[in-house]
Amino acid sequence: KQEVTQIPAALSVPEGENLVLNCSFTDSAIYNLQWFRQDPGKGLTSLLLIQSSQREQTSGRLNASLDKSSGRSTLYIAASQPGDSATYLCAVRPNYQLIWGAGTKLIIKP
Amino acid sequence: DVKVTQSSRYLVKRTGEKVFLECVQDMDHENMFWYRQDPGLGLRLIYFSYDVKMKEKGDIPEGYSVSREKKERFSLILESASTNQTSMYLCASSLGQGTDTQYFGPGTRLTVL
């Protein structure tokens, strides 16, 4: 059974730092992996989607990588800002549904 | 932009009540989903629908039912609400082409007393 783990559960860093969020999954048979952002009391917003044939995707200050063989993905955030404070979730798609990690709560201190 | 709306942001109900949560999307998406989100557990799929009047059980369908009479609307029904159904409920939709992303509504925080 596919399981997705995100470590750490929470992270607090000063503004301006570069940081990496981690996501691991147990079964490499996936169609894609996605990173989402969730702001308090709100729904989720898709940040990046990496197809199983891809190694990385970039959007602005965000870069997500995928290593299927090791069951790992990272989300790199460059030059962090207070507006980046949110919970970040990763999800893998083995079939018709997404399997979710529990998220990493990120706080960027001004 | 895709817009997914949910009928209520906050809802308080009593044990045993029948509860309806409504979700509407405006982009003609084929697929619609209902999740619940609990601290430390991530999102868990309750039901999804890939077409009008079609539904499939997710990982935790017990105590819930769904209805999709029109393509744009997907309803989640708690037949007899219980305290362990207190949670954040999230609706999502996707185009339906296999590897596409899902678009989420703002969520409904349901409290069952």
Per-residue model confidence as pLDDT tens digits over B93-109: 988 765 578 889 999 99
State how far the alpha carbon of A2 is from the alpha carbons of A22, A24, A52, A98, B92, in Å. Answer: 17, 10, 15, 10, 21
- Tokens at A6, concatenated: 């995100």
Q: Is B49 helix (H, G, I), strand (E, B) or coil?
A: strand
Nearest CA in chain B to A98: B45
* pLDDT the model gives residue B58: 92
Q: How confident is the model at residue A103 (pLDDT cuts 50, 70, 90)?
A: very high
- Tokens at A45, concatenated: 């917003």
- A78: which DSSP letter? -
pLDDT by residue (tens digit) across A34-84? 999 999 877 899 999 999 999 999 999 999 999 999 999 999 999 999 999
Looking at chain B, how many residues does it have?
113
Interchain proximity B42–A46, CB inside 8 Å? no
CA distance B42 to chain A (A): 4
| CB-based contact B90:B104 (threshold 8 Å) | yes
* pLDDT the model gives residue A96: 75
Q: Write down the mean pLDDT value for chain A.
A: 93
Q: Which residues of B touch A (CB under 8 A)?
A: 4, 9, 33, 40-45, 48, 50, 56, 58, 90, 92, 98-99, 101-107, 109
CA distance B54 to chain A (A): 14
pLDDT by residue (tens digit) across B35-94? 999 988 889 999 999 989 899 999 999 999 999 999 999 999 999 999 999 999 999 998
* pLDDT the model gives residue B98: 59
- Tokens at A75, concatenated: 């989300």
Q: Which residues of A touch B40 (CB under 8 A)?
A: 9, 102
DSSP secondary structure string, A4-36? Answer: EEEE-SEEEEETT--EEEEEEES----SEEEEE
| CB-based contact B81:B112 (threshold 8 Å) | yes
Rounded to an integer, the average pLDDT of B13-31 is 95
Cis amide prior to A8 (ω within 30 degrees):
yes
- Closest C-alpha to B71, from B25, B20, B8: B25
